[in-house]
Amino acid sequence: MRVSTMLVGAVLAALAASASATLPNPVMFVTQVPVPGDDVAARTVTSSFANHLGSTAAAPRGGDLMLLAPNGTLRNLTAEAGYGSTGAGGFQDANAIAVRDPTVHWSGTKAVFSMVVGAPATAGANATYLWQLYEVTNFGAGQTATIAKVANQPPYNNIEPAYLSDGTLVFVSDRPRNGAPQLYPINDEYRGQEANSGLWRLDPSNGALTLLEHTPSGSFHPIVDQAGRLLFTRWDHLMQDNNNNPLNPTPQYTVFDWTSEAANASTATAVDLYPEPINEPAGSPINPFEINQFFPWQVNQDGTREEILNHLGRHELSVGINKTFANDSNLVVFNAATSGRTNPNAIYNCHQMREDLRPAKAGRILCVDSQEFGTHVSGQIVAINAPLGANAHDITVQYITNRATALPFTASGNIGHFRDPLPLSDGSLVAAFSPTPLAEPGPAGAPATYQFRLTTLSANDTANGNAINSGTLTGGAGINKSVSYYANGTLVSYSGALWEIEPVEVAARSAPTAQTEPALAAPEQAAFATANVAEADIRAFLKTQGLALLVMRNVTSRDAADQQQPYNLHVAVAGGTQTLGNANQLYDISEMQFFESDQVRGFGTPAAPLPGRRTLTRYLNDAHAVRFNPNAATNPGAQPIAADGSVALFVPAQRAMTWTTLAPASSPNNPAWVAANAPVVRERYWIEYQPGEIRACDGCHGVNVTNQAGLPAATNTPQALIDLLAWWKLHDDEIFYDGYGP
């Protein structure tokens, strides 16, 4: 059934006629001059990625930071504090601003947000504009708002800030991981467009800056939940470069490789090592691989223990997953509808996370399931019920609005699209809504067709996909403004209602106790005791060297749900362990190969390179990690798998890592489609660690309830860790002699 023009018109009329909603507390939000276009080339403030750019084309000037009181009083906080254009007739001049991402402090008396200041004065003006962090205070009743720029922040685009439990700031930045200028801008793994580097912590009082989470293609919208976890959305795109795909008829760029991340690196032919190719010729035993998802992630506030929220993954959330080896009939194509998993409701993505802050609802995370283009990251509101400690196997997704609102099609139930869900303290729900069921951009140069207004919804936690709008917050025709500004050398004019987006509730609440790295589990404690090495000594060594310690107990053990990669696995050494899901095809593995994210892909030509670099998987080559790992493996970047299935090694901190198990040089068991020293089971995500972190996992794809053999997670004392610690202890005189130096 198609949504009729009459229905859409009725919704618009109802919204325009509705009165202001009753609020339990003030709501702070931003207005935004509508952004025309949201297609594959768009890089704007409301895009799903590359949304951190400060140009007027990406972020039209003229919006403000607003505060709506429960009695309906509306205040323009940026104007109160003296910010905004003073140009005649609404011309956006050197004082022009755009505003985004407010977050309220635990005290409820101040808020941090991002703002870009300035606009071109003429068509030919050329300047760089950066999003920077600002703090607003004195916005209580009877006060005049004051705004100050946050001190000691890096000179990059800094967006989406939030307060950590100790009052310091976490934010997203496009500062390169190590600050090296030749790596700027960061180019994402998808289209090679500008990306951010992850989550950063800033102590404005002293300028201490820490990379809490490194990602090659971008992280977004960090929040601190009631349990003290730092939650965020991450764009997972660990795949080969489509610009270097020989079967891609229209690559966006020509490509080459730099031999290192150094400014004086030489150039080489472009090579993609990992994972599988995006396309495979007909008849190939390997299925092509692409991944493109925005899933909820978590990390401790000190940057340790990065993982998808509650260890959720594609098997718990996605619609389907292809198998890796086309020739293996024992592997199956995952289908959510027939999988028997607990969660009945699949999602594609999870944008703009907010937690339901009622104590009884801790861990209930609302977000927007939206496709990546066409809707300004608006779609269906969903809730993921993931309290601290909940097993991924038991976690469910709840549809709040109709499933048809997830995608821009005229399907029954699609009244339009939502973004920025805000569950309020009284249990009600607010979101930005546009009654536009179809996609934008529309014709080139056409005005924006989306009309985001803040609305209340008819239901929150009681909804079963049936929540609809019950009234606008600002009432009437909304907030109207006339502006003009230069964008890409063209004078653009707009007159009409501004978008109302990114609401936050202004209320005091207790700062939660920050989650920190947990104590080592019994198997790893036993390994330290057996090797007679003090955990404190290893942690001190790791911190001074900028390393982490990674331990895998038994890489033959895999979660029972994952039957898309080989799961009948045997360690090909004398007495090697094996874990079997059935009596079908067996795979021998002998080494675990590790890759680090190196920004070495160049676009353009070696003679005329474009700015910035894209991340590629490169064999582990970090000088410190290589120095302090025993070199006993056949393949580059690899470590041998011990007979008990365990692996242990030192890895670089604050640099994303991934890995794969490898087949031995020869095997009586492996099928013909697995070559010698070839990947067998591949990790699908980048994972990052902090200096001094010791990260232990039970297997390769950790177990939720049981593994492929119906057994619980591995609890063996990892022999590989004992061996690594013993090697480290044997060399400790040398290591301690140079003061843990390089």
* Other CB atoms within 10 Å distance of the CB of residue 682: 18
Note the pTM of the prediction, 2 decimals.
0.95
At residue 551, the 3 state secondary structure works out as strand
Residue 1 has pLDDT above 70, yes or no: no
Strands (E), 580-727: 587-589, 591-603, 613-619, 638-640, 647-652, 657-662, 679-682, 694-697
* Other CB atoms within 10 Å distance of the CB of residue 493: 11
- For residues 578 and 24, what is the distance between their CA atoms, to the nearest angstrom? 58
Q: What angle do CA 289, 295, 301 make, to 5 degrees?
A: 125
DSSP string, 428-467: -EEEEEE---SPS--STTPPP----EEEEES-STT-SS--
In the structure, what pLDDT confidence band is assigned to residue 304 with cuts at 50, 70 and 90? Answer: very high
Residue 700 has pLDDT above 90, yes or no: no
Please count the residues of the chain: 742
Q: Which domains does the chain have, with CATH numbers?
A: 5-238+291-312+349-505 (2.120.10.30), 522-737 (no CATH)
Question: Which of 265-290 are b and which e, b meaning 16 or more Cβ less than 10 Å from the residue's Cβ?
Answer: eeeeebebebbbbbeeeeeeebbbbb
The answer to whether 661 touches 592, Cβ cutoff 8 Å, is: yes
pLDDT confidence of residue 731: 85
- For residues 26 and 145, what is the distance between their CA atoms, to the nearest angstrom? 15
Backbone angles phi, psi at 270, to 5 degrees: -70, 130
Closest by CA position to 31, among listed 501, 377, 427: 501
Closest by CA position to 289, among listed 276, 304, 298, 303: 276
- For residues 194 and 501, what is the distance between their CA atoms, to the nearest angstrom? 23
First-to-last C-alpha distance (Å) of the chain: 67
The answer to whether 688 touches 661, Cβ cutoff 8 Å, is: no
What are 174's two structure tokens?
A: 């496009």
355-379 pLDDT, tens per residue?
999 999 999 999 999 999 999 999 9
For residue 132, what are the contacts with CB-CB under 8 A and spacing of at least 6? 114, 115, 116, 117, 149, 150, 153, 158
Instruction: Please give the C-alpha separations between residue 532 and each of 470, 525, 538, 692, in angstroms, as whole numbers.
Output: 65, 10, 12, 19
Residue 9 has pLDDT above 50, yes or no: no
Beta bridge partners of 220: 233
DSSP string, 106-132: TTSSEEEEEEEE---SSTT-------E
Residue 13 has pLDDT above 70, yes or no: no
Q: Rounded mean pLDDT of 695-701?
A: 93
Residue 154 has pLDDT above 50, yes or no: yes
What are 545's two structure tokens?
A: 């060297």
Q: For residue 95, which amino acid is it? A: N
Backbone angles phi, psi at 525, to 5 degrees: -60, -40
417-453 pLDDT, tens per residue?
999 999 999 999 999 999 999 998 654 556 678 999 9
Residue 553 has pLDDT above 60, yes or no: yes
pLDDT confidence of residue 10: 32
Q: Rounded mean pLDDT of 202-224?
A: 98
C-alpha 49 chain-centroid distance: 10
- For residues 740 and 542, what is the distance between their CA atoms, to the nearest angstrom? 9
- For residues 491 and 240, what is the distance between their CA atoms, to the nearest angstrom? 40
467-498 pLDDT, tens per residue?
999 999 999 999 999 999 999 999 999 999 99
Residue 16 has pLDDT above 80, yes or no: no
The torsion angle over the Cα atoms of residues 29, 34, 38 and 41, rounded to 10 degrees, is -110
pLDDT confidence of residue 410: 86
The answer to whether 297 touches 313, Cβ cutoff 8 Å, is: no
What are 247's two structure tokens?
A: 């079967």
For residue 155, what are the contacts with CB-CB under 8 A and spacing of at least 6? 130
Instruction: Enumerate long-range contacts of 673-679, CB under 8 Å, 24 or more apart.
Output: 673/285, 673/286, 673/325, 673/327, 673/328, 674/325, 674/587, 677/591, 677/634, 677/635, 679/274, 679/275, 679/593
Longest dimension (CA), the chain: 82
Residue 159 has pLDDT above 80, yes or no: yes
Residue 544 has pLDDT above 70, yes or no: yes
Q: Rounded mean pLDDT of 94-123?
A: 98
- Residues of the chain with pLDDT > 70, as a percent, come to 95
Give the single-character DSSP code of 14: H
Sheet holding 65-68, edge to edge: 74-76, 65-68, 27-32, 499-505
Q: What is the CA radius of gyration of the chain?
A: 26
Element housing 540 (H / E)? helix 535-545
For residue 509, what are the contacts with CB-CB under 8 A and spacing of at least 6? 106, 108, 357
Q: Rounded mean pLDDT of 283-301?
A: 96
pLDDT confidence of residue 21: 61
Closest by CA position to 408, among listed 417, 397, 421, 398: 417
What does pLDDT average to over the chain? 93
236-282 pLDDT, tens per residue?
999 999 999 998 999 999 999 999 999 999 999 999 999 999 998 88
- For residues 437 and 441, what is the distance between their CA atoms, to the nearest angstrom? 13
Residue 741 has pLDDT above 80, yes or no: no
For residue 239, what are the contacts with CB-CB under 8 A and spacing of at least 6? 189, 275, 278, 289, 290, 291
- For residues 229 and 223, what is the distance between their CA atoms, to the nearest angstrom? 8
The answer to whether 599 touches 186, Cβ cutoff 8 Å, is: yes
For residue 337, what are the contacts with CB-CB under 8 A and spacing of at least 6? none
511-532 pLDDT, tens per residue?
999 999 999 999 999 999 999 9
pLDDT confidence of residue 649: 97
Reading phi first (left if > 0) and then psi (alpha if -120 to 50, else beta), residue 86 is in alpha
Is the sign of the CA dihedral 452, 456, 461, 465 positive or negative?
negative
17-72 pLDDT, tens per residue?
334 568 999 999 999 999 988 887 788 999 999 999 999 999 999 999 999 999 99
556-587 pLDDT, tens per residue?
999 999 999 999 999 999 999 999 999 999 99
The answer to whether 353 touches 366, Cβ cutoff 8 Å, is: yes
Q: For residue 742, which amino acid is it? A: P
Helical packing angle, 522-531 and 535-545, nearest 10°: 90
For residue 340, what are the contacts with CB-CB under 8 A and spacing of at least 6? none
Q: Rounded mean pLDDT of 603-607?
A: 97
Beta bridge partners of 597: 617
At residue 527, the 3 state secondary structure works out as helix
The answer to whether 94 touches 128, Cβ cutoff 8 Å, is: no
Instruction: Please give the C-alpha separations between residue 85 and each of 9, 56, 120, 453, 499, in angstroms, as whole numbers.
Output: 34, 13, 12, 23, 18
pLDDT confidence of residue 448: 74
- Residues of the chain with pLDDT > 90, as a percent, come to 89
In the structure, what pLDDT confidence band is assigned to residue 734 with cuts at 50, 70 and 90? Answer: low
Give the single-character DSSP code of 68: E
pLDDT confidence of residue 7: 28
371-410 pLDDT, tens per residue?
999 999 999 999 999 999 999 999 999 999 999 999 999 8
